[in-house]
């Protein structure tokens, strides 16, 4: 395998890992506050449709991005209302959001555009274009480092760079700020936070809204960056893979980056190598396509060591009187 092929696979890895990373960090904030959220898939799907639809109608990818974030925040608001205010079952609320987004996006898309549940293909200003970083062309001739910079680091859309910048930002927010300390404390011992005079409900709503924001970015990237429009069920289980990556990462931002890159690499390999010949045995394309999901099952089966979630996760907080 030559350098060009390796760079192409790694480039695809970065692009495919971006929505997973954003969704994984979204779940990280929510679950660190004690709110389990398996509705990441639905939020991403709603954001993908809203961003693609508005971008197709207005021709502005930025308005599409804003619409995607708003749609995801609305879904997060529903989840927060059900699980925080009304103290409902968080898992059932997340499942309901996934079903709601799955049906509603296709229904509205068909009624709005009449193209079988998809939006028109995005052109020009309706989607995010690759950004060429400074000196990328000038350094492309430098052996090894030049192609790495020009082909792998440069040439991505702005949301890719935002996703990777969110990793250190999330780490700093959670582990180096007062807000992050309180957020983590709410997920472990909400009664202690309440005793200190800090609003448990307010912190959990803040975490859920941050989750909605990041899911909005992930969904918008799917429809306006990775692809050029919305198609039915285009998230293809990425929300669930992001949850598996979150468990794999043991609820830590830097580990989440590694986990998402691993999933992205498996997807990139599956897309590039449809059939792999191993000593006369040909691995069919179906097995390659299933690799990310097989890894998800392996991770959830507990083969990555003991992953302990936040102690108060999944339990509504009832203020003592």
- Residue 283 phi/psi, 5-degree rounding, is -85, 120
Helix 158-176, helix 3-32: angle, nearest 10: 40
Task: Say if CB 188 and CB 174 are below 8 A apart.
Answer: no
Q: Dig out the tokens for 228 from the structure.
A: 């050029």
DSSP 59: S
Q: pLDDT value at position 1?
A: 58
pLDDT tens-place values along the chain, 321 residues long: 578 888 999 999 999 999 999 999 999 999 999 999 999 999 999 999 999 999 999 999 999 999 999 999 999 999 999 999 999 999 999 999 999 999 999 999 999 999 888 999 998 888 999 999 988 888 878 888 888 998 899 999 999 999 999 999 999 999 999 999 999 999 999 999 998 889 999 999 999 999 999 999 999 999 999 999 999 999 988 999 999 889 888 899 999 999 899 889 888 888 877 666 666 677 777 777 777 778 777 766 665 566 788 888 888 888 766
CA dist 95 and 46 (Å) reads: 14
Task: Say if CB 201 and CB 84 are below 8 A apart.
Answer: yes
CA dist 192 and 182 (Å) reads: 10
CA dist 265 and 305 (Å) reads: 22
Establish how many alpha carbons lie within 13 A of residue 235's alpha carbon, considering only the half-sphere containing its beta carbon.
Answer: 33
CA dist 250 and 255 (Å) reads: 7
pLDDT tens track for 168-223: 999 999 999 999 999 999 999 999 999 888 999 999 999 999 999 999 999 999 99
Q: Dig out the tokens for 15 from the structure.
A: 């692009």
Specify the pTM.
0.93
């Amino acid at each position: 395998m030559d350098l060009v092929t390796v760079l192409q696979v790694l480039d695809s890895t970065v692009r495919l890992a971006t929505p997973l990373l954003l969704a994984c960090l979204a779940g990280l904030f929510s679950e660190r506050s004690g709110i389990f959220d398996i509705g990441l898939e639905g939020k991403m799907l709603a954001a993908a449709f809203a961003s693609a639809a508005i971008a197709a109608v207005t021709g502005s990818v930025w308005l599409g991005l804003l619409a995607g974030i708003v749609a995801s925040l609305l879904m997060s608001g529903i989840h927060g209302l059900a699980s925080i205010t009304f103290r409902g079952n968080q898992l059932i609320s997340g499942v309901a959001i996934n079903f709601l987004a799955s049906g509603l996006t296709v229904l509205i898309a068909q009624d709005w555009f009449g193209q079988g549940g998809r939006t028109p293909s995005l052109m020009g200003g309706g989607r995010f274009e690759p950004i060429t970083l400074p000196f990328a062309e000038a350094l492309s001739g430098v052996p090894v480092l030049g192609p790495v910079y020009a082909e792998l680091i440069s040439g991505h859309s702005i949301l890719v760079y935002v996703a990777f910048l969110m990793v250190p930002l999330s780490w700093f927010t959670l582990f180096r700020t007062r807000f992050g300390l309180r957020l983590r404390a709410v997920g472990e011992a909400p009664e202690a936070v309440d005793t200190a005079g800090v609003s448990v409900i307010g912190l959990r709503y803040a975490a859920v809204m941050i989750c909605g924001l990041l899911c909005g970015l992930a969904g918008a990237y799917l429809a306006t960056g990775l692809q050029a429009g919305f198609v039915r069920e285009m998230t293809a289980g990425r929300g669930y893979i992001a949850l598996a990556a979150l468990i794999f990462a043991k609820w830590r931002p830097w580990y989440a980056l590694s986990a998402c890159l691993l999933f992205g690499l498996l997807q990139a390999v599956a897309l590039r190598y449809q059939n792999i010949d191993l000593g006369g045995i040909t691995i069919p394309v179906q097995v390659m396509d299933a690799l990310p999901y097989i890894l998800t099952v392996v991770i959830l089966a507990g083969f990555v060591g003991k992953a302990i979630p936040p102690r108060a996760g999944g339990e509504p907080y009832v203020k003592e009187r």
